[in-house]
Amino acid sequence: MLKTIFIILIFIVTLTFIFQNQSIFIHSFSINYDLKLFKINNISINNSILMISSFILGALISLVLIGSSLYKKSIKNNELKKKIIAIENNEGSKRGIG
């Protein structure tokens, strides 16, 4: 219940901010980018598109980093499980159980 009220309050504050500051989101910028192989000249982009694309790019980078970390931990976990099984089998054969 408290979480729902908190989310509703954040939503209301966000909507209020957007409606009071619409000129920020509508303002357009001219972008120039010159790399020897790739060139962009005088493209007009709204500020809202820049913010959304920055958010998406940040989210993708975060997902890649988190995914690679989870993959490495999964490999390490499997190696440790194999070591545990090998040690248990070795202990069991020493005791004559298995």
Asked whether the beta carbons of 59 and 38 are under 8 A apart, the reply is no
To the nearest 10°, report the CA torsion of 51, 55, 56, 58.
140
Q: Is the pLDDT of residue 82 over 90?
A: yes
User: Which pLDDT does position 57 carry in this prediction?
Assistant: 94
**pLDDT, position 97:** 58
Percent of residues, the chain, with pLDDT higher than 70? 97
Question: What's the rounded mean pLDDT across residues 42-64?
Answer: 88
Longest Cα–Cα distance of the chain, Å, equals 79
- The reported pLDDT for the residue numbered 96 is 63
pLDDT at 41 over 60: yes
* Total residues belonging to the chain: 98
Q: What percent of the chain lies above the pLDDT cut of 90?
A: 36
Task: Indicate the DSSP class of residue 21.
Answer: T
pTM for the model: 0.56
Q: What is the mean pLDDT of residues 84-90?
A: 89
Q: What is the mean pLDDT of residues 25-49?
A: 81
**Strand extents, DSSP E, 1-98:** 28-34, 39-46
